[in-house]
Amino acid sequence: DCPGKEGVGGRRRNLTLLRDKLYVGERRRTEPVVESTAGDHNTLRRSQSDRTEYSQKLQEKMAPQAGSLSPATSLQEEEQVISSMMARRGKIIAELLQTEKDYISDLHLCIQEVIQPLRNKQIAGFDVDGLFSNIELVHQVSAKLLSLLEEATTDVEPPMQIIGEVFLQMKGPLENTYKMYCYRQDEAHTVLESCEKDEELKQHLRHCVHSLK
């Protein structure tokens, strides 16, 4: 065996772990501080120069570090590594957007095909809001989140798609909305148990659920 061969191989084996660590664990360090615009503490904005700087630093973090590579590693190989990781990042963002779209579609169907008909029926003693809590607010907040995600990614080059700021901006509304939804789960369970004792209501609920299929 050639002297130093094991060390070179070890460095190659550690390359993937190192890149993952740089991309996931240290990525936040590449993001410059963004201040809220005057008079609007809920809006985060980033200039084109900030986006360019972020893109450059992100690619630097994705790039293999000189100390972890063998001398034979070429510039082309480094570019392939960066390209592969950026493609993976793009797929993750696309999957996130599609998942959010599907979730909002399901919420919309539930509101239109189940909740609204139940309200229109005006069944005596039946608390529609008690059963479904603030699901309409959940729908509104989720739609806002999707809108901001689409704004951050539509017609924007992949390296400049900064979606982390969207979640920072929506952190408060999301947290408050789901806190309320979770807090009311016991009440919703109690209402559901009472529904099971009313045959007319059970039939109507079955009809609503069937309309979703």
Cα angle 26, 27, 32; round to 5: 115
Give the per-residue pLDDT at 54: 65
Q: What is the pLDDT of residue 80?
A: 84
DSSP assignment of 20-85, as one string? HIIIIISGGGGSPP-PEETTEEEEE---HHHHHHHHHHHHHHHSPPGGGS-TT--HHHHHHHHHHH
pLDDT value, residue 194:
83
pTM for the model stands at 0.65
pLDDT at 117: 86
> What pLDDT is attached to residue 57?
67
Please, what sign has the CA dihedral across residues 83, 84, 86, 87?
A: positive
Q: Domain range spanning residue 143?
A: 5-211
**Predicted local confidence at residue 143, as pLDDT:** 97
Number of domains in the chain: 1
73: DSSP letter: -
CATH of the domain at 31: 1.20.900.10
Task: Give DSSP secondary structure letters for 178-200.
Answer: HHHHHHTHHHHHHHHHHHTT-HH
Look at residue 30 in the predicted model and tell me its pLDDT: 42
Check if the beta carbon of residue 165 is closer than 8 Å to that of residue 152.
yes
Low-confidence ranges of the chain (pLDDT < 50): 1-6, 8, 13, 17-18, 21-44, 66
Q: Are 197 and 176 in contact (CB under 8 A)?
A: no
Tokens at 173, concatenated: 């509304």
Question: What is the pLDDT at residue 6?
Answer: 47
